[in-house]
């Protein structure tokens, strides 16, 4: 992911710095030390982005981390120490914190939901509902929070939904075509009713069945019907208030788009210490 990260960070720096940081130009070229502090409880993710932000602005900046990606931290905890020129540190400050607060938001939310379903067999999955340009980074953040990655994109998994089936007219034909054209790719079929589930269960070569917006009652029945045939994934309208109810139905996976889509940034600050 290094080259991809570099491209993303360079774009972020370009849109922020533009022709030059006018405010930092007013400062003396003084060597200082600074700290990044987390101002709330969180699971941190984004070290590589922070390192690259500072190093692309000024390769002489030195960063010493006190944590690793995936570390749980408390409010007030110092995440890292930074040494370099005041001018370049303040230039890189905002862009680096933007990446760190967004990715830590995803890892923190993921961790909270994973803890809620601890003790069940269900695993928490992410989705493709990610911030453009940050998919791999957010999916890394999901893993830092204890979640599991769903497909990365349209290229590494076949997922057959209602519109795909309507376009061809037959789920069985779609699955047969998928196996013929892409024999090594996993095949996930989305269903919206128990009748659709029964149809999917009668077809060979499916990897997993996704039950979308099922009631808890129907989800329990889906688990019962599919036992020993295919794993079941639940999605649609699942959040921290009802995730345990869904996990207790016996599903194998729960996918939630909000962990990457509804980002509430973690509160961080960078301050000079000398």
Instruction: List, for residues 66-97, the tens digit of each pLDDT value.
Output: 999 999 999 999 999 999 999 999 999 999 99
* pLDDT for the residue numbered 27: 87
Residue 132 pLDDT more than 70? yes
* pLDDT for the residue numbered 245: 98
The class level of CATH for 114-261 reads alpha beta
Instruction: List, for residues 135-165, the tens digit of each pLDDT value.
Output: 999 999 999 999 999 999 999 999 999 999 8
Residue 26 pLDDT more than 90? no
Residue 182 pLDDT more than 80? yes
Residue 114 pLDDT more than 80? yes
State the pTM of this model.
0.92
Domains 2-108+263-272 and 114-261 are alike in CATH topology: no
Domain ranges of the chain: 2-108+263-272, 114-261
Please compute the mean of the pLDDT values over residues 24-45 and round it to a whole number. Answer: 94
Instruction: List, for residues 7-20, the tens digit of each pLDDT value.
Output: 999 999 999 999 99
Question: What is the percent of the chain with per-residue pLDDT over 90, rounded to a whole number?
Answer: 92
| Tokens at 61, concatenated | 């900046």
Q: Mean pLDDT for the chain?
A: 95
Residue 247 pLDDT more than 80? yes
Residue 1 pLDDT more than 70? no
* pLDDT for the residue numbered 51: 97
Contact between residue 95 and residue 16 where contact means Cβ atoms under 8 Å apart? yes
CATH fold for the domain made of 2-108+263-272: Aldehyde Oxidoreductase; domain 3 (3.90.1170)
* pLDDT for the residue numbered 274: 66
Residue 34 pLDDT more than 80? yes
Half-sphere exposure of 61 (CA within 13 A, CB side): 26
Please state the φ and ψ torsions of residue 231, each to the nearest 5 degrees: -65, 150
In this predicted model, which residue has the larger pLDDT, 3 or 228? 228
Please compute the mean of the pLDDT values over residues 228-236 and round it to a whole number. Answer: 97
Residues marked as catalytic: 94, 129, 161, 190, 212
């Amino acid at each position: 992911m290094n080259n991809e990260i570099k491209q993303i960070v360079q774009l972020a720096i370009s849109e922020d710095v533009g022709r030059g940081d006018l405010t930092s130009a007013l400062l003396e070229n003084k060597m200082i030390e600074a700290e990044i502090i987390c101002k709330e409880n969180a699971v941190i993710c984004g070290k590589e982005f922070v390192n690259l932000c500072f190093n692309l602005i000024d390769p002489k900046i030195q960063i010493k981390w006190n944590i690793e990606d995936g570390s749980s931290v408390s409010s007030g905890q110092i995440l890292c120490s930074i040494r370099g020129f005041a001018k370049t540190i303040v230039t890189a400050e905002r862009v680096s914190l933007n990446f760190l607060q967004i990715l830590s938001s995803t890892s923190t939310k993921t961790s909270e939901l994973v803890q809620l379903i601890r003790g069940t067999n269900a695993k928490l999955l992410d989705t493709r509902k990610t911030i453009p340009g940050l998919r791999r980074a957010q999916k890394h953040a999901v893993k830092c929070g204890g979640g599991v990655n769903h497909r990365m994109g349209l290229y590494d998994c076949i997922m057959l939904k209602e519109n795909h089936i309507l376009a061809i007219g037959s789920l069985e034909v779609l699955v047969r075509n998928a196996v013929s054209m892409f024999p090594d790719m996993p095949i996930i079929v989305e269903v919206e009713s128990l009748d659709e589930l029964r149809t999917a269960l009668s077809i060979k070569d499916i990897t997993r069945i996704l039950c979308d917006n099922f009631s808890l009652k129907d989800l329990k029945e889906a688990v019962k019907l599919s036992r020993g045939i295919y794993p079941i994934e639940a999605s649609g309208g699942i959040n921290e208030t009802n995730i345990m109810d869904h996990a207790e139905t016996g599903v194998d996976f729960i996918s939630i788009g909000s962990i990457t889509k509804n980002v509430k940034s973690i509160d961080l600050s960078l301050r000079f210490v000398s």
